[in-house]
Structure 1
């Protein structure tokens, strides 16, 4: 059985988005609603904390230093030393009830991140339904171009890719469904969305996800404190 152990007792409000930095050999993660970024060594030592100006949904490390951060008010570049942000884009600036949530980079360095609604009162956890689906899924290319890949999403989570780069997995948490898209790694285009897995008959629902070296999709189940896996 895999070993599960406490790495850092961080007392986060909403800890999410673990990200390993190969060069620094440090683990990064975020405290979403506290607007903080953390990092530590592999053994949990040397914990560092950084601050961002708004709620943070996800981040991606940059090769030349710093990060791209998905904040409540859009996408920004982040300087860890100065703890400052540089605005890139906010595709939903006209809707104050949405914010960016989960995101990851593909193997060409593009950042794929989606949005969600702040209006939690409209979510019925038992039925997995929302009355609004105003969020979207976006791709930030390496040249700074921002493209909307999909819309009509309630809570974006778990973007990850198959080993051959031809499939994008993505979760709409409040709909209790995980989807797959055909993905073009050369252009970043995604289409032909279809259902991959459903949690409608479960007490929990899909949240963050990743694909392991054997091609299995792993998902952290929110409201259930479980991790599930499925073959592609």
Structure 2
């Protein structure tokens, strides 16, 4: 039996969940509040750190470096030093900036993830004009190598979002939300190359409500995709393009998902309350909450840290 429970209170724009299997802790961000959150299920303790300088969209530990995390601040990629307890970081070092050209300075970084080699991938979205309204085709998908060099891989992106890699690491799955598709690329992990773009799952063709947002992959090679403005998480087979399962979430703006827990069989789900009016917030008290889903019948993988 599948159960959905709210485990953490409302955020404005909860996003980017990362499960640290060694710590048995969930990290995620509130983009609009410029916050990084850390939650330990065993103790039910949550700590929050405020980041100055702009919206924060990802938090990923740096491999082998205690209290070091890769975060984004606006268009900047940075390394944050944080003890996991304090309300402000002890140090933030900006290491790269993307979209440094006229016409793209109002962009910001959005979703990101480390690939199987520890290389960071993160993309931008166009200037925000309203709910799911961005300057079209103005963003890109980038990678950051160990020597801190930024490479652009996909251009013409409107809202860069979820990332995942196939079990054999030969396919990268990617979401540009406004296309209403999960797409696939042939992936070369050693070279950090993604080519041969194609559709893996089509929201319209399958009658799925909402926009594809963040996603994760399970040990069977199936994807779990958050549906923004869809009040649900869907489970799809990207090899066949088939919808396998739908799980309703009591929050309209579901943003991302990650497997966690001791057995990596608990699905943690972030959501948002952004752009909801007073009446909508009153009608959906769980909007913006972070959820835990039990009984999906699936398991995931430990979160991949960034190698820098």
TM over 0.5: yes
Q: Which residue number corresponds to residue 184 of structure 1?
A: 188
SS at match of 2:3: coil
Q: Which residue number corresponds to residue 90 of structure 1?
A: 97
Count residues in correspondence: 226
Q: How far, CA to CA, are the matches of 1:152 and 1:96 in structure 2?
A: 15
Q: 1:131 to 1:85 in 2, by over 3 A?
A: closer
Q: Which residue number corresponds to residue 127 of structure 1?
A: none
**Structure 1 unmatched ranges of 5 or more:** 125-129
Q: Which residue number corresponds to residue 164 of structure 1?
A: 168
Cα RMSD after superposing both structures? 1.8
Q: In the alignment, is residue 228 of structure 1 matched against residue 201 of structure 2? A: no
Q: How far, CA to CA, are the matches of 1:199 and 1:106 in structure 2?
A: 25
Once the two structures are overlaid, the 10-residue window that deviates more, 151-160 or 141-150, is 141-150
TM-score w.r.t. the length of structure 1 is: 0.91
Which structure is higher in RCO with an 8 Å CA cutoff and minimum separation 6? 2
CA contact (8 A) 2:209 2:227 kept: no
**Structure 2 unmatched ranges of 5 or more:** 240-308
Query: Alpha-carbon deviation of 1:2?
Result: 2.5
Query: Equivalent residues in 2 for 1:117-136 (5 A)?
Result: 117-121=126-130, 132-136=136-140
Q: How far, CA to CA, are the matches of 1:33 and 1:43 in structure 2?
A: 28
Query: Alpha-carbon deviation of 1:59?
Result: 2.2
Q: Which residue number corresponds to residue 221 of structure 2?
A: 215
Spell out, residue by residue over 1:66-117, the C-alpha distance to the aligned partner (whole angstroms, 9 max, x if none).
1111221311111114613211111213322210000111111011110002
TM-score w.r.t. the length of structure 2 is: 0.69
SS at match of 2:233: strand
Query: Alpha-carbon deviation of 1:123?
Result: 5.1
Q: Which residue number corresponds to residue 25 of structure 1?
A: 24
Once the two structures are overlaid, the 10-residue window that deviates more, 172-181 or 81-90, is 81-90
Q: Which residue number corresponds to residue 51 of structure 2?
A: 52
